Amino acid sequence: MMLRFHYAWVILFVTFLSLLAVQGVRLSFGAFVEPWEREFSMDRGTVSLISTLSFIVYGLSQPFIGRLVDKFGPRIILSVSTFLVAVSILLTAFVHHPWQLFILYAIFVSLGVGGASNVAATVVVTNWFNERRGFALGIVEAGFGAGQMLLVPGSLLLIQWLNWKATVIILGCFLMIVVFPIVLLILRNHPNEKGMLPIGGMDQEESTTEQPSKFNDFSIWDAFRKKQFWFLILPFSVCGFTTTGLMDTHLIPYAQLCGVPTSATSAAVTILAAFNIVGILFSGVLADRWSSRKMLICLYVIRALSLFILFYSYNPLLLIIFAIVFGLVDFSTVAPTQLLVTQYFKQHSVGFIIGWLSFSHQIGSALGAYVPGLLYSYHGNYNVAFYFSIIILVISAILTFFLPEFPKEKVTI
């Protein structure tokens, strides 16, 4: 007897592809730092400010994106956002002044990236998976790592072979011609649009699409009064500071500062992204079986330890070792954090709460992009930024320790 293939896996692949492409473009920012410094006669702090404003716009958009996803569905939000990023990143090739770059990248690209984020993706997974949800969240989050692995070193090499303008044109065309039509034509918001049930059947509780009145009655003040909200939000902002903020913006410039050849830097970024995918997938599987709270404590501590290795990365071999260790814990925090949100706030709108969680991550990312660049402009190195990152990672592990444990047998996955 042939097993019927569930369309949820197609949905998962399309969502994965959209995050790979859109977030991969965003994560390639570090590859453009030096070319933009030369092209527009900007210092490191000013270029970092583009990234900072980008994260702020991205972050501020997340609660609203969550509401829009709840209202219009993730298909419309993901497809429109992909198209917006495609057009905006392509147009950066034609700018002549820094202020034009600020507007195109920090505003329009960032709004698109904010829409094609794990806010919409989490709702897709929640709708299509009532079993293996942790694994599915891990797969979706692996899109970030896959985009990092393919598009970041790819952008570095294209800039080296061609130039940065040709590179953004290629990236924009890829999003517009390949990714956008796939998302628009294939993605579906909910299994009932295909006359199907989600994997695992219907939940005992009403589905997300059958609870509009409960979501409309929900106020963010209900969440603000909960300790769980703040003890998830604050560590997740530190997660943003130390990953997409600090590393994705400054790792490539730091390696160049250390005199690491472009080929070795590209290899390190590729290895980091590859192990990022391994860590994401493993965390998704483990989150279905172990305490998400304990996972997060371990991940924050290991990430802090990995930064010590980076201090000695003048040696390319140590940079590779750092890439392996940091890659394993880079985006691995997302699946357990999102599962804790669905456990602590299961009576609320998933899109809305995840939107606020993502907002905190992007504000942390904004600070992680700008503050190290500012410190570099003053001190000529990243030492203070790395020490500060280690301290706040330890604090995050402590805050996570004080979260209440959620019994696994009560979780619907």
* In-domain check, residue 203: no
Rounded Cα distance between 140 and 119, Å, is: 11
Q: What percent of the chain is modeled with pLDDT above 70?
A: 89
Q: What is the pLDDT of residue 230?
A: 87
Structurally, how many domains does the chain consist of? 1
- Are the C-beta atoms of 143 and 18 separated by less than 8 Å? yes
DSSP 167-205: HHHHHHHIIIIIIHHHHHHH--SSGGGGT---BT---SS
* Structural domain for 344, as ranges: 9-190+222-408
Banded model confidence at residue 171, pLDDT cuts 50, 70, 90: very high
Judged against a pLDDT cut of 90, whether residue 261 lies above it is answered with no
Q: CATH number of the domain that 123 lies in?
A: 1.20.1250.20
In a domain, 212, yes or no: no
Phi/psi of residue 199, nearest 5 degrees:
-60, 125
In this prediction, residues 85-113 reach a mean pLDDT of: 90
- 209 part of a folded domain: no
Does 177 score more than 90 pLDDT?
yes
pLDDT over threshold 70, residue 4 = no
Indicate if the pLDDT at residue 206 is higher than 60: no
Structural contact between residues 8 and 340, judged by C-beta atoms closer than 8 angstroms? no
Q: What amino acid is encoded at 29 in this protein? A: F
Q: Return the closest-CA partner of residue 33 out of 240, 265, 236.
A: 265
In a domain, 413, yes or no: no
What is residue 351's predicted lDDT score, i.e. its pLDDT? 63
**Band of pLDDT at residue 248, cut at 50, 70 and 90:** confident
Domain membership of residue 55 (yes or no) is yes
Residue % of the chain over a pLDDT of 90: 20
365 lies in some domain? yes
Mean pLDDT of 215-237: 75
Distance between CA 182 and CA 185 in Å, rounded? 5
* Residue 76: its H or E element: helix 74-91
Determine, yes or no, domain membership for 50. Answer: yes
**CB under 8 Å to 152, separation ≥6 — which residues?**
24, 27, 28, 30, 31, 269, 270, 273
Average pLDDT value for residue range 395-403: 91
- pLDDT greater at residue 395 or residue 245: 395
**Better-scored residue on pLDDT, 290 or 242:** 242
Write out pLDDT tens, residues 119-133: 788 888 888 887 777
- pLDDT, residue 212, reads 44
**Pairwise CA distance, residues 347 & 336, whole Å:** 18
Residue 211 lies in a domain: no
Give me the chain's average pLDDT, please. Answer: 82
